[in-house]
Amino acid sequence: MEQFRVIIEREEARLGQIAEEMRKTLAAEELDRQKKDREIAELRQQKVDAVGWREKREIDEVIERCRAQYAMRQYQDGQVLSNPYFGVLELEDDDLGRLTYCLGRRSFFDSTGRAVVIDWRDAPISRLYYEYEAGELYEEEIRGRDRTGQVSHKRQVDTAGSELRKIFEKGTLLVRGGDGTWGLAEESGGAESRKEEKSDHRLPEITALISPDQFRAITHPESSTVLLQGGAGSGKTTVGLHRIAYLSYQDADRFKPERILVVMFNRSLQNYISRILPELGMGAGVQVETYHGWAGKMFRAAGVRFSYSSDPIPENVVRLKKHPRVPELVDRYLDGLLKKSRTWLFEQMEKTGDPEMEAIRMRLQALNRFEDLVTFLNKDALFARSPGRPESRNGLRGRLLARFTDHVADLHAMLTDRDLLKETFGARKESGEEPLDELICWQERLRSRNMIDFSDTGIFLWMLQRKGVASVRPGYAHVMVDEAQDLSEIELATLLHATDERNSITICGDMAQKIKGEVSFETSEGFAGFVRSRRHPAGTAGMNSDTLVVGFRATRPIMELAWRVLGEKPSMTVPRDGDPVQIIPTRSPEETIATAKSILADYFENHPKALVAVVSRYKAEADRAFQALKSSGLMQVRRHERDDFSFEPGIVVTNAHQVKGLEFTAVLILNPSTGQYRDDHENRMLLHVAITRAADHLWVVGHQPMAYGLESSKGF
CB count within 10 Å of CB 647 equals: 22
Q: Is the pLDDT of residue 222 over 60?
A: yes
Q: How far is CA 480 from CA 290, 441, 476, 491, 496, in A?
A: 12, 37, 10, 13, 10
The pLDDT assigned to 253 comes to: 93
C-alpha–C-alpha distance, residues 346 and 357, integer Å: 8
What average pLDDT does this structure show over 474-490?
Answer: 95
The pLDDT assigned to 198 comes to: 59
Task: Give the helix/strand (H/E) hosting 492.
Answer: helix 489-496
The pLDDT assigned to 74 comes to: 74
pLDDT in tens, 593-636: 999 999 999 999 999 999 999 999 999 999 999 999 999 999 88
Indicate the range of 172-186, 272-286, 458-472 predicted with least confidence: 272-286
Sign of CA dihedral 370, 371, 374, 380: negative
C-alpha–C-alpha distance, residues 533 and 547, integer Å: 19
φ/ψ of residue 394, rounded to 5: -65, -35
pLDDT in tens, 92-121: 999 999 999 999 998 999 988 899 999 999
What average pLDDT does this structure show over 223-234?
Answer: 88
The pLDDT assigned to 551 comes to: 87
**Geometric angle at alpha carbon 172, from 171 and 178, rounded to 5°:** 140
pLDDT in tens, 487-515: 999 999 999 999 998 889 999 999 988 88
More confident residue, 523 or 457: 457
**Geometric angle at alpha carbon 374, from 369 and 376, rounded to 5°:** 90
Q: Domain 212-302+472-540 maps to which CATH number in 3.30.1490.190, 3.40.50.300, 3.40.50.720, 3.40.50.280?
A: 3.40.50.300
pLDDT in tens, 173-182: 899 988 889 9
The pLDDT assigned to 171 comes to: 82
Average pLDDT of the chain, as a whole number: 88
φ/ψ of residue 678, rounded to 5: -65, 160
pLDDT in tens, 168-218: 998 888 999 888 899 887 544 434 444 445 555 666 667 888 888 889 999
The pLDDT assigned to 75 comes to: 81
The contacts of residue 550 (CB under 8 Å, 6+ apart) are: 211, 213, 234, 572, 573, 574, 575
Amino acid occupying residue 445: R
C-alpha–C-alpha distance, residues 602 and 668, integer Å: 13
CB count within 10 Å of CB 210 equals: 21
C-alpha–C-alpha distance, residues 503 and 534, integer Å: 11
More confident residue, 208 or 153: 153
pLDDT in tens, 13-67: 999 999 999 999 999 999 988 988 898 899 888 888 888 888 888 888 888 888 8
Q: Read off the DSSP letter of residue 51.
A: -
pLDDT in tens, 78-88: 888 999 999 99
Q: Is the pLDDT of residue 712 over 80?
A: no
Q: Is the pLDDT of residue 541 over 60?
A: no
The pLDDT assigned to 116 comes to: 94
What average pLDDT does this structure show over 281-298?
Answer: 91
What average pLDDT does this structure show over 302-319?
Answer: 93
pLDDT in tens, 325-370: 999 999 999 999 999 999 999 999 888 888 888 888 888 888 889 9
Q: Domain 556-702 maps to which CATH number in 3.40.50.300, 2.60.120.560, 3.30.2290.10, 2.40.50.660?
A: 3.40.50.300
Residues of the chain with CATH 3.40.50.300: 212-302+472-540, 556-702
More confident residue, 645 or 699: 699
Task: Give the helix/strand (H/E) hosting 97.
Answer: strand 97-104
The pLDDT assigned to 651 comes to: 94
Amino acid occupying residue 247: L
Are the C-beta atoms of residues 478 and 244 closer than 8 Å to each other? Answer: yes
Write out 335-403 in H/E/C secondary structure: HHHHHHHHHHHHHHHHHHCCCCHHHHHHHHHCCCCHHHHHHHHHHCHHHCCCCCCCHHHHHHHHHHHHH
The pLDDT assigned to 193 comes to: 45
More confident residue, 659 or 185: 659
Amino acid occupying residue 672: P
The pLDDT assigned to 190 comes to: 39
The pLDDT assigned to 202 comes to: 63
The pLDDT assigned to 72 comes to: 66
More confident residue, 426 or 172: 172
